[in-house]
Chains A and B, each alone.
Chain A
Amino acid sequence: QQQVRQSPQSLTVWEGETAILNCSYEDSTFDYFPWYWQFPRESPALLIAIRPVSNKKEDGRFTIFFNKREKKLSLHITDSQPGDSATYFCAASGDSAGNKLTFGIGTRVLVRP
């Protein structure tokens, strides 16, 4: 079964708008949640990550909101720019998973100028 779910599968926003990407997980022992982004024809790279000790992590225009009770998190991209157009992967890991990540299927974001 899919341990990490993402929605929507694709998202189009206008430049300057806020894009909201959703993620949920099954394993309550997960305690590390990174988001990776991947530009076309490139490899994934870490964008931002959160641990459940906090419910919010901000890095510039990118913010993760985390709800441990509901096992949900979201990535908000404020003031979206065309250069943010990429596929965004939510991932999760925890002690029960060992030193490995479980990735969602990704959300493809297109920012129109």
Chain B
Amino acid sequence: EAAVTQSPRNKVAVTGGKVTLSCNQTNNHNNMYWYRQDTGHGLRLIHYSYGAGSTEKGDIPDGYKASRPSQENFSLILELATPSQTSVYFCASGDWGANQDTQYFGPGTRLLVL
């Protein structure tokens, strides 16, 4: 069964509304990541976490917050959604160390902000 799951899989939001994207992993990995994927930009890191209670800013954190309440769960929060945040969002988990540098991606969430 899938080790990294995301919800919702599809979301339509209104400009100015709050959006929460959820991610759950059963890999028992310490690190979790949120990326967005847009044509011409590849995968860009928004926020990441080293473990429960930790969040770190990635390369494009503006307009996003993150929360890691437990080892398994990592959320991405858009407090005031804007149309520029329309994208596909991927969550990933992984551990860092000898031969353990693989990131495992969830199925993605398609977000449309109108």
A residues at B contact (CB < 8 Å): 32, 34, 42-46, 49, 89, 93, 98-106
Contacts and interface: CB of A to CB of B under 8 A. Distances in A.
Contacts of B90: 43-44
Contacts of B41: 105
Interface in B91-114: 94, 96, 101-108
B42 A106 contact: yes
9 contacts: A32-B101, A43-B105, A44-B105, A89-B43, A98-B56, A101-B103, A103-B35, A103-B42, A105-B40
Interface of B: 31, 33, 35, 40-45, 48, 50, 56, 58-59, 90, 94, 96, 101-108
Contacts of A93: 101
Contacts of A89: 42-43
Contacts of B48: 99-100
Determine the main DSSP class of B at the interface with A. Answer: strand
A34 to B, nearest CB: 7
Contact of B31 (A99, A102, A105): A99
A49 B101 contact: yes
Contacts of A102: 45, 59
A105 B42 contact: yes
A102 B45 CA distance: 8
A100 B102 contact: no
A100 B61 CA distance: 14
A45 B96 contact: no
Given A99-B31, A99-B50, A100-B58, A44 B101 contact: no
A45 B107 CA distance: 11
